[in-house]
């Protein structure tokens, strides 16, 4: 380890660069598709209110896909950074408190209702219901003044239960085709989502992001230990409540609209930590942008790679994410010598 | 004007930790909190910092309760140095010490000139300015303790409550740290320090509070608190006494068990 700490970049230029990268990738994402689309024409037609074919393709397919990439990536990245800060453990990720599994189970239940065939939004609504129920259970389990260990244990319990319930649903699937459909959905994808999905997820995510962002100063203080953070004027119970609530809203709605997309919340904070001078508070927004970049890039990748049927996004993020972790292990080993 | 704990009683998990303890932290005074392991010193310090609610009794902060003052005001008035050296290892020393300014900053506001000056003063006081840019994880244990003390000093609070600030320090830095604490107490800060070294406690503290099994056994000037009978009764030791350049000192010499077997 070099003796000097990495000072990181100044926050404004760093966030500016990351935001520019998100913007650029959003445009690329809208330009990439299975049929050539005159992007300029589509946007002009759309703004002029003309329902031309390019305008429809743009509004019905490209735009929601790119927007959801940004929203879901931002939610996963930010929630991952927040969880790692709260638990002071670099292996924490948004799924650790069990909300993602519960959202997935909620969506699987919605599959079973059969309504999802006729109403596209039943699935994400089921996911959000699952996430909300799990959050309420989590808060009841934790009660007042719970420790970090209690939180992790409660998360493990929720995760196992929701995972088992999902497996049970697969086990009881009426036919192999239904089981396959569930498995595919669970792998996560941004394909074939509409602006309704965006409208459903956006308000919940914005609220979640605001709650998560509000924890930044307390997360910085928490690095010194719980007593010291409390002595600096932070209410740790209130910090936990805001952070869990924020992560549940952001990640719950992300999983509800896209299925499970792993590794983003785990890997992105690691990559960006040196750039923010290892300050957990500054990492939150930066990781949000970083998550959006990773998800957008992976989603552009699945459309450019000539493999059909389209690769699932969750598979690709894991394939990209795992080597980053291998590299991290190597770096930690070198530093330990 | 003082922090006054009256009849404080605390039980944790059904076990009594503190029983009707009185304590007063006064401005411009260095108070030493002494007692054997498990006497309740850390718990008393946490009660005084309002980190641990008291089951019985009360703590008065210059005429107000902790609830009346609110978290932020309390955080600006009382700096707390925790036992142990928990610290974010990748952070720079300067950034870590800067965390002591959090109670003074509006949320999300960047550090201002006043904050930077306070951090620079704290780094200089603890003799750690030389490694302001180092990562905390690359410091030795003793260096890290001094950096954590600098973090507490950076709050520039009228009261400083430090739990074993000498743990892990070499003799030079033990003396430096106590001289520093005495100096800031002379400049007006009310300082409470948990100490295990009775020689240093007797030499540097203005007043001692001796705890044993959760009870306040004695309180007053070091010479009055640390008499032979109490050293035997509470610590089970016998100490040598002497004087150097007009300053009395005591040196824990042998446990009473040993004395029985050897004499």
Strands B29-34 and B237-244: unpaired
**Is residue B136 domain-shared with residue B216, that is, in the same domain?**
yes
pLDDT at B245: 87
Asked if residue B263 has pLDDT above 50, the reply is no
Asked if residue B150 has pLDDT above 80, the reply is yes
Asked if residue A294 has pLDDT above 50, the reply is yes
**Is residue B156 domain-shared with residue B259, that is, in the same domain?**
no
Fold of A38-336: ABC transporter involved in vitamin B12 uptake, BtuC (1.10.3470)
Please give the Cα distance from B96 to A228 (Å, whole number): 12
Average pLDDT value for residue range B161-174: 93
Q: At what angle do helices B141-154 and B113-125 cross, to 10 degrees?
A: 140
**Is residue B166 domain-shared with residue B54, that is, in the same domain?**
yes
pLDDT at B168: 85
Please give the Cα distance from B143 to B135 (Å, whole number): 12
**Is residue B238 domain-shared with residue B163, that is, in the same domain?**
no
**Is residue B240 domain-shared with residue B128, that is, in the same domain?**
no
Report residue A92's pLDDT band, with 50, 70 and 90 as the boundaries.
confident
Contact B91 A5 (CB under 8 A): yes
Q: For A163-190, how does the pLDDT look when each residue is reduced to its tens digit (9 = 90+)?
A: 999 999 888 888 888 888 888 888 999 9
**Is residue B36 domain-shared with residue B127, that is, in the same domain?**
yes
Asked if residue A205 has pLDDT above 90, the reply is yes
Contact A277 B95 (CB under 8 A): yes
Asked if residue A257 has pLDDT above 90, the reply is yes
**Is residue B14 domain-shared with residue B87, that is, in the same domain?**
yes
Please give the Cα distance from B219 to A320 (Å, whole number): 64
**Is residue B9 domain-shared with residue B128, that is, in the same domain?**
yes
**Is residue B125 domain-shared with residue B245, that is, in the same domain?**
no
Rounded-to-10 torsion of CA A309, A267, A324, A282? 140
**Is residue B240 domain-shared with residue B192, that is, in the same domain?**
no
According to DSSP, the residues that pair with B23 across neighbouring strands are B5
pLDDT at B259: 53
pLDDT at A330: 86
Please give the Cα distance from A46 to B202 (Å, whole number): 83
- All residues of chain A having their beta carbon less than 8 Å from the beta carbon of residue B108 are 216-217
Report residue B256's pLDDT band, with 50, 70 and 90 as the boundaries.
confident
> Which of A277-286, A314-323, B200-209 bottoms out in mean pLDDT, i.e. has the lowest?
A314-323
Please give the Cα distance from A227 to A223 (Å, whole number): 11
Report residue A1's pLDDT band, with 50, 70 and 90 as the boundaries.
very low
Work out the number of other CB atoms within 10 angstroms of the CB of residue A262.
Answer: 21
Please give the Cα distance from B108 to A304 (Å, whole number): 41
pLDDT at B39: 95
pLDDT at A337: 54
Q: Cβ(A229)–Cβ(A283) under 8 Å? A: no
Q: Max alpha carbon distance in chain A (Å)? A: 65
pLDDT at A323: 87
| B199 at interface of A, judged by CB pairs closer than 8 A | no
Please give the Cα distance from B231 to B205 (Å, whole number): 17
H or E stretch at A185: helix A176-186
Within 13 Å and on the Cβ side, how many CA atoms surround B201?
27
Report residue A289's pLDDT band, with 50, 70 and 90 as the boundaries.
very high
pLDDT at A264: 92
Average pLDDT value for residue range B92-110: 91
φ/ψ (deg, to 5) at A50: -85, 130
Q: Using the 8-state DSSP alphabet, how is residue A115 labeled?
A: G
Q: Which own/partner contact pairs does A120-127 have at CB distance under 8 Å and 24+ positions apart?
A: A120/A194, A120/A196, A120/A197, A121/A196, A121/A197, A121/A200, A123/A185, A123/A256, A124/A197, A124/A200, A124/A201, A124/A253, A124/A256, A124/A257, A125/A200, A125/A256, A126/A256, A127/A103, A127/A252, A127/A253, A127/A255, A127/A256, A127/A257
Q: The domain containing residue B84 runs over which residues?
A: 3-226
Asked if residue B114 has pLDDT above 70, the reply is yes
Please give the Cα distance from B191 to A148 (Å, whole number): 31
Probe site for chain A from B45, B50, B85, B95 (most A CB atoms < 10 A): B95
Asked if residue B46 has pLDDT above 50, the reply is yes
- All residues of chain A having their beta carbon less than 8 Å from the beta carbon of residue B87 are 223-224
pLDDT at A2: 52
Asked if residue B226 has pLDDT above 50, the reply is yes
According to DSSP, the residues that pair with B239 across neighbouring strands are B252
Total structural domains within chain B: 2
**Nearest alpha carbon to residue B80 among A50, A317, A39, A228:** A228
pLDDT at A121: 84
**Is residue B190 domain-shared with residue B66, that is, in the same domain?**
yes
- How is chain A split into domains, by residue range? 38-336
ipTM of the assembly? Answer: 0.92
Any idea what the CATH number is for the domain that residue B160 is in?
3.40.50.300
Sheet of B56-61: strands edge to edge?
Answer: B15-25, B3-12, B56-61
A199 to A106, A204, A257, B49, B131: CA distances (angstroms): 19, 9, 11, 47, 51
**Nearest alpha carbon to residue B157 among B103, B95, B93:** B103
**Is residue B128 domain-shared with residue B52, that is, in the same domain?**
yes
Please give the residue that has the higher pLDDT: either A118 or A70.
A70
pLDDT at A119: 72
Please give the Cα distance from B170 to B157 (Å, whole number): 27
Contact B102 A224 (CB under 8 A): no
Contact B82 A230 (CB under 8 A): no
pLDDT at B258: 55
Q: For B7-37, how does the pLDDT look when each residue is reduced to its tens digit (9 = 90+)?
A: 999 999 889 999 999 999 999 999 999 999 9
Q: Cβ(A223)–Cβ(B108) under 8 Å? A: no
- All residues of chain B having their beta carbon less than 8 Å from the beta carbon of residue A231 are 49, 51, 75, 78-80, 82
- All residues of chain A having their beta carbon less than 8 Å from the beta carbon of residue B99 are 220-221, 223-224, 232
């Amino acid at each position: 380890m070099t003796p000097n700490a990495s000072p990181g970049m100044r926050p404004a230029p760093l966030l500016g660069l990351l935001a520019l990268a998100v913007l650029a990738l959003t445009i690329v994402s809208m330009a990439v598709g299975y049929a050539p689309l005159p992007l300029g024409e589509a946007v002009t037609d759309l703004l002029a209110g003309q329902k031309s074919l390019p305008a429809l393709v743009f509004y019905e397919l490209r735009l929601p896909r790119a927007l959801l990439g940004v929203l879901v990536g931002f939610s996963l990245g930010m929630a991952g950074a927040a969880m790692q800060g709260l638990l002071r453990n670099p292996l924490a990720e948004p799924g650790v408190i069990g909300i993602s599994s519960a959202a997935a189970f909620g969506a699987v239940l919605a599959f079973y209702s059969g309504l999802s065939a006729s109403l596209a939004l039943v699935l994400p609504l089921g996911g959000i219901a699952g996430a909300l129920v799990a959050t309420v259970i989590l808060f009841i389990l934790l009660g007042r003044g719970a420790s970090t260990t209690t939180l992790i244990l409660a998360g493990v319990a929720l995760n196992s239960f929701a995972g088992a319930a999902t497996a049970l649903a697969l086990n009881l699937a009426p036919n192999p085709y239904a089981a396959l459909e569930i498995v595919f959905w669970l792998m996560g994808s941004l394909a074939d989502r509409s602006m309704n999905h965006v409208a459903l997820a956006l308000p919940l995510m914005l609220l979640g992001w605001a709650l998560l962002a509000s924890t930044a100063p307390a997360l910085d203080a928490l690095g010194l230990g719980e007593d010291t953070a409390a002595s600096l004027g932070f209410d740790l119970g209130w910090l936990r409540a805001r952070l869990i609530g924020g992560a549940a809203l952001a990640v719950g709605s992300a999983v509800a609209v896209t299925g499970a997309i792993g590794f983003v919340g785990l890997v992105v904070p690691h990559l960006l930590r040196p750039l923010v001078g290892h300050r957990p508070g500054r990492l939150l927004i930066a990781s949000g942008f970083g998550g959006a970049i990773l998800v957008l890039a992976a989603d552009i990748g699945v459309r450019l790679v000539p493999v059909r049927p389209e690769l699932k996004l969750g598979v690709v993020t894991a394939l990209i994410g795992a080597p980053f972790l291998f590299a991290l292990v190597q770096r930690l080993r070198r530093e330990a010598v | 004007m003082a922090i006054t704990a009256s009849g404080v009683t605390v039980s944790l998990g059904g076990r009594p930790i503190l029983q009707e303890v009185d304590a007063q932290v006064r401005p411009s005074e260095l108070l030493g909190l002494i007692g054997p392991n498990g006497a309740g010193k850390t718990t008393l310090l946490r009660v005084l910092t309002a980190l641990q609610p008291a089951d019985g009794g009360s703590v008065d902060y210059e005429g107000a309760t902790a609830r009346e003052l609110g978290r932020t005001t309390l955080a600006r008035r009382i700096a707390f140095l925790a036992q142990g050296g928990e610290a974010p290892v990748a952070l720079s020393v300067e950034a870590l010490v800067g965390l002591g300014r959090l109670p003074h900053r509006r949320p999300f506001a960047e550090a201002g000139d006043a904050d930077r000056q306070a951090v620079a003063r704290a780094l200089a006081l603890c003799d750690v300015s030389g490694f302001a840019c180092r990562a905390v994880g690359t410091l030795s244990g003793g260096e890290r303790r001094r950096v954590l003390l600098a973090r507490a000093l950076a709050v520039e609070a009228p009261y400083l409550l430090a739990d074993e600030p000498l743990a892990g320090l070499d003799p030079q830095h033990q003396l430096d740290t106590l001289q520093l604490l005495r100096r800031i107490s002379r400049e007006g800060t009310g300082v409470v320090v948990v100490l295990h070294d009775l020689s240093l406690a007797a030499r540097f503290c203005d007043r001692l509070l001796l705890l044993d099994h959760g009870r306040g056994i004695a309180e007053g000037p070091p010479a009055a608190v640390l008499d032979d009978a109490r050293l035997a009764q509470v610590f089970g030791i016998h100490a040598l006494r002497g004087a150097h350049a007009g300053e009395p000192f005591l040196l824990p010499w042998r446990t009473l068990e040993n004395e029985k077997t050897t004499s």
